[in-house]
Chains A and B, each alone.
Chain A
Amino acid sequence: MRYDSLLASVGRTPLVGLPRLSPSSDVRIWAKLEDHNPTGSIKDRPALNMIETAERDGRLVPGATLLEPTSGNTGISLAMAAKIKGYRLICVMPENTSVERTQLLRMWGAEVIYSPAAGGSNEAVRVAKGLAAENPDWVMLYQYGNPANTDAHYRFTGPEIFEDCPDITHFVAGLGTTGTLMGVGRYLRERVPGVSIIAAEPRYGELVYGLRNLDEGFVPELYDESVLTSRFSVGPRDAVRRTRELLNEEGIFAGISTGAILHAALAAAAKSHSAGERADIVFIVCDGGWKYLSTGAYEGSLDDAEGALDGQLWA
Chain B
Amino acid sequence: MSIEVRIPTILRTYTGEAKSVAGDGPTLDAVIADLETRHPGLRDRLVEGDALRRFVNVYLNDEDVRFLDGLSTALKDGDVVTVLPAVAGGAIVVF
Asked if B95 and A177 sit within 8 Å, CB to CB, the answer is yes
Interface set, chain A 276-315, CB cutoff 8 A to B: 284, 286-287, 313, 315
Decide: A208 and B90 in contact? CB cutoff 8 A: yes
Q: How far is the CA of A122 from the CA of B85 in the complex (A)?
A: 12
**Chain A residues, CB < 8 A from B62:** 232-235, 238, 267
Chain B: CB-nearest residue to A234: B62
Q: List residues of A whose CB falls within 8 A of some B CB.
A: 41-43, 70-75, 120-122, 125, 143-144, 173-180, 200-204, 206, 208-209, 211-220, 225, 228-235, 238, 255, 257, 260-261, 267, 284, 286-287, 313, 315
Per the bound structure, the CA–CA distance linking A144 and B67 in Å amounts to: 22
Could you say which residues of chain B place their CB within 8 Å of the CB of A255?
94
Of B56, B63, B67, B90, most buried by chain A (CB within 10 Å of CB) is B90
Asked, given contacts A214-B10, A233-B57, whether A41 binds B85 with beta carbons under 8 Å apart, the answer is: no
Report yes or no: B88 in contact with A220, Cβ–Cβ below 8 A.
Answer: yes
Most buried by B among A42, A175, A217, A261: A217
Do residues A202 and B95 form an inter-chain contact, with CB atoms below 8 A? no
Q: Which residues of B approach A to under 8 Å, CB–CB?
A: 8-11, 45, 53-57, 59, 62-64, 66-68, 82, 84-95
Assess the A286–B94 pair: CB atoms within 8 A. yes
A218 vs B88: C-alpha distance when bound (angstroms): 5
| CA distance in complex: A267, B64 (Å) | 14
Q: Which B residues lie within 8 Å of A209 (CB)?
A: 8-9, 84-85, 87
Pick from B54, B59, B90: contact of A71, CB under 8 Å: B90
Please pick, from A43, A176, A214, A229, the residue contacting B88 in the complex, using a CB distance under 8 A: A176
| Contact between chains at A120 and B94 (CB < 8 Å) | no
Q: Are A143's CB and B95's CB within 8 A?
A: yes
B59 CB contact (under 8 Å) in A143, A225, A233, A286? A233
Contact between A206 and B90, CB atoms less than 8 A apart:
no
The reply to whether B10 and A120 contact each other, CB–CB distance below 8 Å, is no
| Majority secondary structure, A binding face | mixed
Q: Chain A contacts of B86 at CB under 8 A?
A: 217-219
Instruction: List, sorted by A's number, 12 A–B pairs whose CB atoms are closer than 8 Å.
Output: A120-B88, A143-B95, A174-B93, A175-B92, A176-B94, A176-B95, A177-B91, A200-B92, A209-B87, A214-B45, A215-B55, A315-B92
Q: Which residues of A contact B11 (CB under 8 A)?
A: 214
> Chain A's nearest CB lies how many Å from the CB of B67?
4
- Contact status A201-B92, CB under 8 Å: yes
- 4 shortest interchain CB distances as A-B pairs: A176-B91, A174-B92, A217-B55, A176-B89
